[in-house]
Structure 1
Amino acid sequence: MKEIVIESKLFVFENLDKLPKPSQELMQKAIEARQKAYAPYSQFHVGAALLLENGEIITGNNQENASYPSGLCAERTAIYYAGSKYPDVKIVEMAISAGSQLKETTEPIPPCGACRQAIAEYEIKQESPIKIYFMGASGKVAKSNSLENLLPLMFNKEAL
Structure 2
Amino acid sequence: MELNLERFENPEELPQDAQDLLLAAVEAREAAYAPYSNFHVGAALLLANGKIIKGNNQENAAYPSGLCAERTAVYYAGANYPNEEIVMMAISAKAKAKETAVPIPPCGACRQALAEYEVKQARPIAVYFRGGSGPILKSSSVENLLPLLFTQKFL
TM beyond 0.5: yes
Aligned partners of 1:108 and 1:142 also within 8 Å? yes
1:76-95 per-residue CA deviation (whole Å, 9 max, x = no partner) reads: 00000000000010000100
Separation of aligned partners in 1, 2:63 and 2:148: 27
Q: Does 1:51 align with 2:42?
A: no
Separation of aligned partners in 1, 2:74 and 2:17: 19
Match of 1:124 among 119, 124, 130: 119
Aligned partners of 1:16 and 1:139 also within 8 Å? no
- Pick the structure with greater CA Rg: 1
Separation of aligned partners in 2, 1:129 and 1:23: 15
Q: Does 1:20 align with 2:15?
A: yes
Aligned residue identity for 2:86: I
Separation of aligned partners in 1, 2:115 and 2:59: 23
Q: Runs of 5+ in structure 2 lacking a partner? A: none
Separation of aligned partners in 2, 1:126 and 1:158: 15
Separation of aligned partners in 2, 1:15 and 1:140: 6
Q: Does 1:109 align with 2:104?
A: yes
Percentage identity across paired residues of the two chains = 65
Separation of aligned partners in 2, 1:49 and 1:138: 17
Match in the other structure for 1:42: 37
RMSD (Å), alpha carbons:
0.5
Q: Does 1:154 align with 2:149?
A: yes
Tell me the TM-score normalised to structure 2 length: 0.99
Q: How many pairs does the alignment contain?
A: 155
Separation of aligned partners in 2, 1:26 and 1:117: 21
Tell me the TM-score normalised to structure 1 length: 0.96
Separation of aligned partners in 1, 2:149 and 2:104: 20
Match in the other structure for 1:3: none
Offset, 1:29: 0.3
Match of 1:139 among 130, 134, 138: 134
Q: Runs of 5+ in structure 1 lacking a partner? A: 1-5
**3-state SS of paired residue (1:59):** strand
Moved over 3 A (4+): none
